[in-house]
Each structure stands twice: as C-alpha cells, then as structure tokens.
Amino acid sequence: MTEPAPQKRIALMIGNERVSFVLNGRSRSYHLKSQQGQQLVELLRAPVQDIEAIGILADIPTWIAKQTHGRVTVDELDRLRLDGVLIDYGLTGRITKIVEQGNSFEALANFIERVSRNPDPSVAEDLYRFMEKGNLPLDPEGYVLAFKKADNEFNSFWHGPQKVNYTPGTTPSMPREECDPNRSKTCSRGLHACSFEYLNFWYKGKGRLVIVRIDPEHVTAIPMDHNDQKLRCCQMEVLAEIPEADAEHHFKSAVDSRYAPEPEVVEEDVLELTLDMIIPGETDRQRLKLHSVEEPELPIEEWVKRGYAAGDQSGRSDKEEGLPYTPDLRVPTEIEEDMDRSMAYTKALLEGYNTAYRAADDLSDSDPAPELPSF
C-alpha cells in the first residue's frame, strides 16, 4: 500500500493575544484566551498536525453547532437556524465578533433563544439592527445592555400622569398590551432605552444615566427615528448608574459580563450537621457529625486518561454509526478555566478518537484496548 505524501505543516503566528494561521487559502485569527484558540494552538503545535481536526475547529458554522449542542446551525446560504427553523435576521457580524474576542458563544445562543420567544416576530431583525448600530452588547444570559436617561430622582423625564422610577436595583414594568408596537410612532407608550448616540439628542448633560438590562422577549418596538437608536419594551432591569462622560466608551466587547448576576457562594468548609441516628441492633442512640469535604483537584494525568477514554468511546461510536470524522472537543466544565488540564484533556481525547475511529474497522470485541498515551 502506497503511503500518502506528507502534508505541508500549517504555520502559526502568536502575537497580540491572538493565534493566526492560513488554512485553505484563508487567513484565520482567534483569541488565545478562548477555548477555541487554546485548542487550535495545541493542534497546530503537535508534531503531527491533524488537519481535519484543525479545520473543524476553525470552521465557524461547525463551531457554532458544537457550542449549542446542534441547536443553532448555519445553512448553505449562511443563514442561521434555530432547531432547524430559519432565523430571518443576520447575525454573522456578531458571531465573528464574539468568536474573535474570545467570548463564549453561549451568550449569543441565549439571545437567539430569548428573541425567538417574543410574540412579535418582526422585532428580531429590528432588535439586532439596534444592537449593531448602537454597538450595544449582550450579557452572558442573552439580555441586551443599553442606556437609560432619568431625572435627578431617577424618575422618567416624561411629564405624563404617571412617572416611572429607574433607581438602580429596580425592575420597571408595564403590561405588554399597553406598549405601542408600531415602530412608525417614534414617541409613544412604553419603557424606553437607547444607544450612546441617542443620548446626544435628548437631555444631554441633564439628569442621571443608568445601565439597563432587557430581555429580548420583552421588546415591543424599535422606533424608526434617529437611525434605529432607540428601543421600546414592557420590562427592564436597572443595573447601575454611570457618569455620562464615560458612556461613549463604556461598552467595549460584544459580550459584557460586568453586570452578570453574582453566583451564589456556598461555604463548603463551614457546613456541619449533627444527626441523631438509631443504629440497627443497638439500643443507645449515637450522635454523628457530618463534615463536608472539598473534593481534591484531580492531577493532569487523570484528565489525560479521561480524555483518551472519552475520545476512544466517541471514535468507535461515530465509526460504527457511519458518521463523519467529528471529534467533540468540548472539555468538562470543571477544567474549562484551567489551560494546562484542558489542553492535556483535549490532546488525549484527539489521540483516543483518532486511534478508535481509524482502527474501528479492524477491531473486534476481543481485541485489547489501546494503551494510554504517555504524559
């Protein structure tokens, strides 16, 4: 059997916190802190480069499908689909920005899910345009972050029969049916938020400026005035006040995590429960103390074993089911932030997958399992 000609290595360049390379005549660049960037560096530096695996990681549509467990896909016309249903608004610019900045794709997947729940399907395209033109970010949960101007008491400037209060920490709301869905009516019923550009049109230098968080499901209209720089909704969360002078450069990333809800902290080392337990065969009651013990961190060698085992199982399964070569390069959540362990796990997973997938046709159940890679 004639051996295939050796493939030319893909050269990589690392600088300015990014890894760059050329694949299939196209320049590609990824943030080194992103999971995608870390795994690409490992694959590109390998003694024998797995060109197929590199192509899968570097292909944005494939990456999107993996990050959303197959829910969000890109069709042959570069259109996004959620669960196979066409999403009739363009997000390719936002996708590229999120990937290149090293953000998790989960925020965009959450946004797509939330906007799909909006009872008015016409809102989706307008809302995306509002975010792009206003350079407004998402938060990790898929909410839109925007600006809101209020008076010195955090009340709305509108002089109607009832003012709305926008004190940080509150969640102003009103019945959706009372919000005007007509985008042709620029000033009408509803709670309003805006981009930085819109701040220059009304109440510039007056009152107080707050950051608000809006669920795409609650958006009712993007009025047509001032180049789609204003939003109308039925509910929003008021997060914080900022100086108006800082507004222009306040949002710098496509996904902003500064206002994400704080995770609940559990003090594992202070839990102490006292239980009265009756032991079978005993007449006396015995008092036992249960102390929570923090699970020790597993060594890298253990993650190498786990990665190889996961790749071996996945490779055999894909080959038996006639699926194309598609190693799942996700790492367990507990080591996502640990570059050394995640890279070791991914490297072992790829080796296990390669061995199993390419040898599946020749293996039988009686064949011994391949040896683990040395670390």
Looking at 198, 227, 262, which one is the last position of a domain? 262
Least confident of 10-19, 133-142, 187-196: 10-19
Least confident of 93-107, 175-189, 233-247, 257-271: 257-271
Give the model's pLDDT for residue 274. 37
Provide the token pair at 269.
């080392």
Least confident of 65-79, 83-97, 244-258: 83-97
**278 and 254 part of one domain:** no
Give the model's pLDDT for residue 363. 44
Domain assignment present for residue 155? The answer is yes
**297 and 242 part of one domain:** no
Residue 119 clears pLDDT 90, i.e. is over it: yes
In angstroms, the CA 179 to CA 181 distance is 6
User: Which pLDDT band holds residue 367 (cuts at 50, 70, 90)?
Assistant: very low
Give the model's pLDDT for residue 54. 83
**89 and 179 part of one domain:** yes
Domain assignment present for residue 364? The answer is no
Q: What is the pLDDT of residues 304-345, one digit of tens each?
A: 999 899 888 888 888 888 887 777 777 888 887 777 787 788
Please compute the mean of the pLDDT values over residues 209-228 and round it to a whole number.
91
Give the model's pLDDT for residue 288. 31
Instruction: Round the CA-based radius of gyration of the chain to a whole number and report it.
Output: 27
Give the model's pLDDT for residue 179. 92
Output 39 or 105, whichever has higher pLDDT. Answer: 39
* Domain enclosing residue 173, as ranges: 67-262
Handedness of CA 167, 171, 175, 179 (dihedral sign): positive
Contacts of 355 (CB under 8 A, 6+ apart): 311, 312, 315, 370
* Domain total in the chain: 3
Q: Closest by alpha carbon to 319, among 350, 363, 371?
A: 363
Half-sphere exposure for 216 (CA within 13 Å, toward CB): 30
Residue 291 clears pLDDT 70, i.e. is over it: no
User: Which pLDDT band holds residue 24 (cuts at 50, 70, 90)?
Assistant: confident
Please compute the mean of the pLDDT values over residues 287-306 and round it to a whole number.
63
In angstroms, the CA 351 to CA 362 distance is 17
Q: Is 342 helix (H, G, I), strand (E, B) or coil?
A: helix
Domain assignment present for residue 368? The answer is no
Looking at 262, 281, 315, which one is the last position of a domain? 262
Q: Is 13 helix (H, G, I), strand (E, B) or coil?
A: strand
User: Which pLDDT band holds residue 81 (cuts at 50, 70, 90)?
Assistant: confident
C-alpha 361, offset from chain centre: 37
Under DSSP, the state recorded for 178 is G
Is residue 32 within 8 A of residue 19, CB to CB? The reply is: yes
User: Which pLDDT band holds residue 21 (cuts at 50, 70, 90)?
Assistant: confident
Give the model's pLDDT for residue 118. 94
**247 and 353 part of one domain:** no
Output 183 or 361, whichever has higher pLDDT. Answer: 183
Contacts of 354 (CB under 8 A, 6+ apart): 50, 311, 315, 327
Domain assignment present for residue 371? The answer is no
If 0-12 CB within 10 Å is exposed, 13-18 middle and 19+ buried, where does residue 54 land?
Answer: buried
For residues 292, 293, 297 and 298, what is the CA-based torsion angle, rounded to 10 degrees? -100
Is residue 213 within 8 A of residue 239, CB to CB? The reply is: yes
**164 and 54 part of one domain:** no
Q: Please indicate, yes or no, whether the overall pTM of this predicted structure exceeds 0.75.
A: no
Give the model's pLDDT for residue 203. 80
Domain assignment present for residue 200? The answer is yes
Q: What is the pLDDT of residues 157-198, one digit of tens each?
A: 875 567 899 999 999 999 999 999 988 787 888 999 999 989
Residue 152 clears pLDDT 90, i.e. is over it: yes
Domain assignment present for residue 338? The answer is yes
Q: Is 359 helix (H, G, I), strand (E, B) or coil?
A: helix
Give bridge partners of residue 273 from the DSSP assignment. Answer: 290
Contacts of 18 (CB under 8 A, 6+ apart): 29, 30, 31, 32, 37
Domain assignment present for residue 367? The answer is no
User: Which pLDDT band holds residue 112 (cuts at 50, 70, 90)?
Assistant: confident
Q: Closest by alpha carbon to 221, among 197, 186, 173, 175?
A: 186
**154 and 90 part of one domain:** yes
Please compute the mean of the pLDDT values over residues 238-243 and round it to a whole number.
96
